[in-house]
Structure 1
Amino acid sequence: MTLPAAADFAHVTEWVFDLDNTLYPRHTDLFSQIDKKMTQFVRELLDLEHDAARALQKKYYREHGTTLQGLMLHHGIDPNDFLEKVHDIDYSWVKPDPELGNAIRALPGRKFIFTNGDTPHAERTAAALGILDHFDEIFDIVAADLKPKPAPETYDRFLARHGVHSDRAAMFEDLPRNLVAPHQLGMRTVLIVPRNIDVVLDEVWEHEGKDGAHIHHITDDLTAFLKAATA
């Protein structure tokens, strides 16, 4: 992947990062634990076989941005119960990344985690990476009033809550559709992809639009990218 010119980010003072498969690479596979927990939740809730539960889970994820949103809309579940159960996972899969931590700490201005997960999950993940202390705030699904990315109003809520100026912000995400609204708001957008972008993923549609005009940069190495952006 091509590294950016520092001039591309000279104006940036607000650095906004998605969490899962962005701050840690996809091959860490932490999210697979959450994915299995979500399937199990749907199985038990609706008394479905595994394959039917997984298909419904993925349908809600694609149509509503998160499985949680679909379950709330169609089945009226308690979101706190869902978030607690699906994030009951083993965080030892995530290893400390001091080089990434140094790159984030060196960024000029404020740094945010903006996640469709909840704050406890973000804190545990960032702590496992050794980077939690480098962030000013975490904006989670609860702060978003349970309305997930890519909903435009969720980005508006984030900007208003933290006084972020979108024309001085950069957004780092692993899902192309979650970068549409940031681009429209005037943010610099960066798509994080797996190291082997040609690998067949469980959800191939997740990477639809990766060549869209709403994406300014693509990288498979966040640390190297941040270092180049602030060289």
Structure 2
Amino acid sequence: MPDPDSFEALKGHARAAEAKGFDHVETWVFDLDNTLYPASSRLFDQIDAKITAYVMERTGLDGISARALQKYYYRQHGTTLAGMMAEDGLDPDHFLAFVHDIDHSVLVPAPELAAAIARLPGRRFILTNGSRRHAESVASRLGVADLFEDVFDIAAAGFVPKPERVAYDAFLKLHGITPASAAMFEDLSKNLVVPHTLGMRTVLVTPRDGEPEGLERLTAADDAEAGPHVDHVTDDLPGFLSALAIVAADEPR
């Protein structure tokens, strides 16, 4: 027998989806880390620790100083990788291979998420500041790899990360996507500013109560504010997507 609480939550998501006008969406774009999988998996914590270790090895700094430099790069350049490339002449391929050499087995299959994504009408993509190899490992572990048309990774963006507009423009141009008919799902509010400006519907995916928010969030001032560029906020991506599919199925195309 269906859980009444789950049913009520789904109806709530559906009402929100209708109010935000997703009926025009034909392309669904998802960030990867802490968006497709929950922050509670602590997968990104592994990456974050590897980034610090990489900075330590490259610079000879102690852990605290390397951490401070890592966060300086993140604030100034959008990602630590972009900062080290700009200021230290870093080889991005070596960096990405090192920081994504992690234990992906902490992720478990997500059949509810897979079913919800599969029901979305139109095209589906992953847009990530990480590497294709990492994205494919994550998607395979979750059981959603076959549901996406492509992964647009940091290399495809010429190593220019979100939230820079050039990264989004390159993605949209490559795949012939009209922003006004697309939706973007992200766990970082700042990465939704450009999509909203371009006309995409935007959804901020937040941790559930008690889940860690991830070290790359830095401070509340950096990214906690949803702002006018966020059309909706959810801490239940599978439920929200299921509601979108229901709404889409009921709308004439």
Aligned to 2:239: 224
Determine what percentage of the aligned residue pairs are the same residue: 53
Instruction: Please say if 1:117 is aligned against 2:130.
Output: yes
1:168-206 Cα distance to aligned partner (Å, 9 max, x none): 000000000000000000000000001028967642244
Aligned pair count reads 230
- Give SS of 1:48's match: coil
Say if 1:15 and 1:169, in contact at 8 Å, map to a contact too. Answer: yes
Give 1:209 shift. 2.7
Q: Per the alignment, do residues 200 and 150 of structure 1 end up closer, same or farther by CA in structure 2, a change over 3 Å counting?
A: closer
Per the normalisation by structure 1, the TM-score is 0.95
Aligned to 2:3: none
Distance 1:198 1:227 in 2: 22
Give 1:6 shift. 3.8
Per the normalisation by structure 2, the TM-score is 0.87
Aligned to 1:5: 17
- Which amino acid letter does the alignment assign opposite residue 234 of structure 2? T
Instruction: Please say if 1:213 is aligned against 2:225.
Output: no
Distance 2:213 2:74 in 1: 19
Match of 1:108 among 93, 113, 121: 121
Aligned to 1:92: 105
- Which amino acid letter does the alignment assign opposite residue 40 of structure 1? A
Instruction: Please say if 1:30 is aligned against 2:43.
Output: yes
Greater Cα radius of gyration, structure 1 or 2: 2
Cα root mean square deviation, aligned: 1.6
Q: Per the alignment, do residues 43 and 199 of structure 1 end up closer, same or farther by CA in structure 2, a change over 3 Å counting?
A: closer
Unaligned runs of 5+ in 2: 1-8, 247-253
Match of 2:91 among 61, 69, 78: 78
- Which amino acid letter does the alignment assign opposite residue 17 of structure 2? A
Distance 1:200 1:133 in 2: 28
1:200-226 Cα distance to aligned partner (Å, 9 max, x none): 76422442332x110000000000000
With 201-210 and 21-30 compared, the bigger mean Cα shift is at 201-210
Structure (1/2) with the larger helix percentage = 2
Distance 2:151 2:222 in 1: 24
